[in-house]
Amino acid sequence: MTISLSSYELELIKKELKREPKEEELKVIDALWSEHCSYKSSKVFLRSLPSEGPNVVMGIEDWQDAGAVDIGDGYAIVMKVESHNHPSAIDPFNGAATGVGGIIRDIISKGARPIALLDMIRVGSLRHERNRWLLKGIISGIGFYGNSIGVPVVGGELSFDDSYTDNPLVDVACVGIVRKDKIIPSVVKKPGLKLVLAGLTGIDGLGGASFASRKLSGEDEIGAVQIADPFAGKIILDVTLEIADKVEAIKDLGGGGLAVAVTEMANGLGAIVNLDKVPLRVKGMKPEDIIISETQERMLYAVKDENVKEVCKAFEYYEYPCAVIGEIIEEPKIKFLYEGKEVVSLPSSLLLSPPIYVWDMKENGEQKTGEKPNVRIEDAIRSIVTSEDLVSKEWAYSQFDYEVGTSTVIKPGEADSSLLLLPNGKFLAIKGDANPDLCVEDSYECGKAIFAEAYRNLATVGARGAAAVDHLQFGDPKKPKVYAKFVEAIRGISEAARFFNIPIVGGKVSFYNENSKGEPIKPTPLIVMAGLSDKPFRPSIEEGLDIVLIGITRDEMRASLFTKIFGQYGKLPKARLSEDLISSEIVIQGIHEGKITYAKDISKGGLIGALWSIITKGYSVSISTDVITTAEDIYSKLFSENGGRFIVLTNDSQFFTKLAEKKGTIARVVGKVTKGSGIYIDSDYYDLSKEIDIYNNYLEARL
């Protein structure tokens, strides 16, 4: 196993300890101080994110495994997002599957029942064989774990870009539901509690946190990847929820294994752990391997002495290993013993106080832009609608069980956001959004834009955003241009979150995402937002409905799908958050008053991309570009991806034109839903039946 501690950090450790650290101790510190666990290169800037609000029950607090938000009637939702990028690049099946397992354990560690999963996947173009192998393994892994454990995968993203060829991004988000007064902390506040470990410890996942905190080397690092066992995960899920009222704290054994779980749970107090008591899958494991193993399907509980027997008895029913391995102590030291000898003895303060870094930053400068291309509208439309990002993802989500639990109202592929029925009768909308192409150009504008897009996506099913989590995925933070992009993305996200008054209750940072040539992935911050609605909504499309365009279309073409295909030119889209809010409120009101049958925000592919979602459901559309007077260029009218806009289908268009005027924006009838399989633009008709076949069969044909 490779230690990722720098020479500077090694000197800090020696100075603090006033002695040479043992090898076992270095491995413990390496796990706690890894970028994956400590956020040492990001913590300074993450503090700027708004994490508080009147409904926040548990926000971004030290060592809490997930955030929680009050949704009324005594309930709270619990949210978390994680990634398994590096493991999925080595072993896509187990990397993706254990990502699902880990995020589910984060949710149940709060005493919450998981009710929905989202997966956001980015791989290189399917022109390359290895990317096809990666995608098939990733989808199989997610389906294997989610379907087996009984948590529906209700939505996500699947997109393609060559910058992810060697370093796929596999993000998984989970939402759970819990009674507000039953939320369990991840940390303890007093000594004397017993440490109870459920599950077997093996030799898989050794050094996983360190592995995730450095560049992929191209060498065989399969031992750092954990092995998935969803059937054991189901036992952990069911028993944890059964015993939640008998424990004082719960901690998932994820990155860093026992080293991190014990230290973070102790929360500045100390702990003594007897490694001989740890149930092992493999005989003869070295003590340091027991400490840092990241074997899945394990959970650590802090339990009062009088409740230990009852906790372990619940696991004994399933013949699942459960053992008292140690105790929380007042002395602020983390101690691991093996065969009666002290293998590790380190101050809690040292482990929980890694050095904090702020790396050099360098402005990326003005991105290159060229002349407006001379492309026929017909050719542009056909290229846009057959791009990998806009083809049907049914091949992927059909492999997931998205209806288990019977609370799914809107299924994958039906709308811009998922919608679930909650126990209190309200409806939960959830969506994840990123825009790497915009982030390459301007990560500050990108940070604002992706937050606004998530908000708009929830509006398309009648929900208002209530809470968010973020995941910030970048290359090597020591590279000044990469670090500048990271910092600017946080600035944009923070500004948008404050504007919409939506707290960010958790998140993750993933650095060192690079390809084999040392080139960073496109900067990929991700927002997962949850929102609430009192009204159920099921989208539907009918012939004869008016197509109303809400919002202002601008001549802002850079960073769009059009310019990705035909060459960058023109102005960069600027996030105008007030326009996103106003247009979203119009859509929400339209849904709640029964005036909308279908709503789609305008993003990837512009107006054509939004209309394509109607055409692929078996209809034609006719539109007039003359009424889109806010943009002068025909390419902008059809393909601009500037924010603040929706199309809605309605049989009462005057409702929207009047409401928009009242709220200070624009809503205009731009066309109608008709029969057929194409699009009428002004006086021209484009038959897209061949493109529909490509849309429906692209992934299966490639894979």
What is the Cα–Cα distance from 275 to 66, expressed in whole angstroms?
A: 28
Is 85 flagged in the annotation as binding? Answer: yes
Residue 83 known to bind ligand: yes
Q: Is 105 annotated as a binding residue?
A: yes
Dihedral (CA of 67, 72, 73, 77) sign = negative
Element (DSSP H or E) covering residue 441: helix 436-441
For 296, how many CA atoms within 13 A lie in the half-sphere containing its CB? 27
Per-residue model confidence (pLDDT) at position 593:
97
For residue 255, what pLDDT is reported? Answer: 83
**Is 73 marked as binding a ligand?**
no
What is residue 57's predicted lDDT score, i.e. its pLDDT? 92
d(CA 501, CA 504): 10
pLDDT at 644 over 80: yes
592 labelled catalytic: no
Q: Tell me the average pLDDT across 420-444.
A: 95
Share of the chain above pLDDT 90, in %: 83
Which tokens hold the place of 479?
């590279």
Q: Let me know: does 277 contact 339? Beta carbons within 8 Å.
A: no
Q: How many CB atoms lie within 10 A of CB 309?
A: 11
Task: List the catalytic residue out of 84, 128, 471, 592.
Answer: 84
Class in CATH terms, 539-703: alpha beta
In the prediction, which pLDDT does 212 show? 44
Predicted local confidence at residue 703, as pLDDT:
87
- Quote the pLDDT of residue 405: 66
Q: Is the dihedral of CA 59, 496, 447, 418 positive or negative?
A: positive
Q: Kindly report which listed range (209-218, 455-464, 467-476) carries the lowest average pLDDT score.
A: 209-218
Tokens at 192, concatenated: 């004397």
pLDDT in tens, 14-64: 999 999 999 999 999 999 999 988 999 999 999 999 999 899 998 876 557
Catalytic site residue from 36, 128, 471, 592: 36
Instruction: Confirm whether residue 252 is marked as ligand binding.
Output: yes
Helix (H, G, I), strand (E, B) or coil at 541: coil
368 pLDDT band, cuts 50/70/90, is: confident
* Residue 190 counted as an annotated binding residue: no
CA angle in degrees (0–180, nearest 5) for 642-648-653: 120
Q: Could you give the angle at which helices 230-243 and 92-108 cross, rounded to 10 degrees?
A: 10
The Cα–Cα gap between 209 and 219 comes to 17
- Tokens describing residue 74: 């005594």
Task: Say yes or no to pLDDT of 220 above 50.
Answer: no
Helix axes 7-17, 23-32, angle to 10 degrees: 110
Q: What is the DSSP letter of 688?
A: -
User: Has 471 been labeled as part of a binding site?
Assistant: no
Predicted confidence band of residue 543 (pLDDT cuts 50, 70, 90): very high
Quick one: pLDDT at residue 224?
55
Share of the chain above pLDDT 70, in %: 95
Q: Mark whether 128 is an active-site residue.
A: no
Q: Name the average pLDDT for the chain.
A: 92
Least confident of 46-55, 465-474, 482-491, 551-560: 46-55
- The answer to whether the beta carbons of residues 174 and 117 sit under 8 Å apart is yes
The answer on whether 507 is annotated among ligand-binding residues is yes
599 sits in which H/E element: strand 598-601
Residue 98: DSSP 8-state: H
Token look-up 């064989």 returns: 129
Bridge partners (DSSP) listed for residue 120: 157, 171
